[in-house]
Amino acid sequence: MLPSYYLLPSWIDKSEITKLYSEMKSFAPFTIYNISQKTSEEIQAYQSSIITLMELIDLSTIKHGGRK
């Protein structure tokens, strides 16, 4: 379930956002110590998820009348 503080338009697909939110839980808290305990593969997977989310929001915004 997505927290209520994610203020996103209803037309954005929540499945990718929920996926990223689930992955973020393993990284919280965002401290130097916690991040240093992650493997490079885990960090790269997290980075890929963030990029995917950014692309989803960008494409959804364009589709729903945003910038072209």
- Copy the structure tokens of residue 14: 């929540």
Question: What is the rounded CA–CA span in Å between residue 29 and residue 32?
Answer: 9
Question: What is the rounded CA–CA span in Å between residue 10 and residue 51?
Answer: 21
Question: Tens digit of pLDDT for each residue in 27-48?
Answer: 766 677 777 888 888 888 888 8
**pTM score, whole prediction:** 0.67
Which of these, 3, 2, 4, lies nearest to 15 by C-alpha position?
2
Question: Tens digit of pLDDT for each residue in 8-22?
Answer: 788 888 877 787 787
